[in-house]
Amino acid sequence: MPIQKVTKEEVVNQALLLFKKRGYHRTSMADLAEACGLLKGSFYHYFSGKEALMKEVLGAVHSYFKAKIFVIAYDETLLPRERLEKMLAKQIRVVSSTEGGCLMGNMAIETALVTDEFRPAMRTFFDEYLDALAHVYSYKYDAKKARQMAEQAMVEYEGAWVMVKLTDSSHYLQDVLERAMARFDAAESNNVTEKQ
C-alpha cells in the first residue's frame, strides 16, 4: 500500500529528476519508490520495472521538447534568427532548471554501449532536434550546410553539459548559444556559404 497516493505522471516526473541527477544505473527501484512516496512493492503497480519507467520518462521528455521547444523552429510568426535564439535559450533554461543536465545526453552516454533498449527513443529525439535546428539554419544555408550547422550546435550543447558538470560553471551553455547565433549571422557576410 502506498505511503501516499500519486499519479503515474508524478512518478514519471520524480523519476526524471532522479535519473537526471543519479543516472539510470545508479538509481534503484527503492530510490524511485522513496522519491515518489511509495513502498517499493507498490511501485510495480505503476510500472513493471525500471526499464519500462525509463522508456516512459524518455517519451515524456521527447513529447515536452517536441511541443514546447522544437516547435519554435517552425513558428512562422518569428524571424528565423529569433526562432534559433528562442529555441536554444528555452532549451538551456528548461534543462538547467533542475540538477543533472540533459537527460537524453546523459542516457545516451550511460546506456548506448550497454543496451540498445533506449537507443530508438533517443535517436528519434536527437533526429527531431537536428531537424528543427537544420530547419532554422536552412534560411541561411543550403540543406547540407544547414545540417552541419545543426549538428555542430547540438554537439556543442551536449559537450557544454560535460563542462558544466565538471566545473560547476554554466557559462559554457551561454557560449553555445552565442556561437550558434554567430554562425547564423555569419551567413549574411559570407556569400560563399550563404544559401543561394
Query: How much is the average pLDDT of 163-189?
Result: 90
pLDDT tens readout for residues 17-56: 999 999 999 999 999 989 988 888 888 888 998 999 999 9
Q: How confident is the model at residue 45, as a pLDDT?
A: 87
Band the pLDDT of 1: cuts 50, 70, 90. very low
Among 144, 162, 151, 149, smallest CA distance to 106 is for 162
For the cut 70, the answer to whether the pLDDT of residue 2 exceeds it is no
Band the pLDDT of 195: cuts 50, 70, 90. very low
Q: Which of 64-73, 95-104, 143-152 has the lowest mean pLDDT?
A: 95-104
The pTM assigned to this predicted structure is: 0.89
Q: Please measure the distance between the N-terminal and C-terminal CA atoms of the chain and give it in whole angstroms.
A: 65
Task: Decide: helix, strand or coil at residue 174.
Answer: helix
pLDDT tens readout for residues 131-161: 999 999 999 999 999 999 999 999 999 999 9
- Using a 10 angstrom Cβ sphere, with 0-12 exposed, 13-18 middle and 19 or more buried, the burial of residue 194 is middle
Q: What percent of the chain has pLDDT over 70?
A: 93
Q: How confident is the model at residue 42, as a pLDDT?
A: 82
pLDDT tens readout for residues 72-91: 999 999 999 999 999 999 99
CA distance 82 to 137: 12
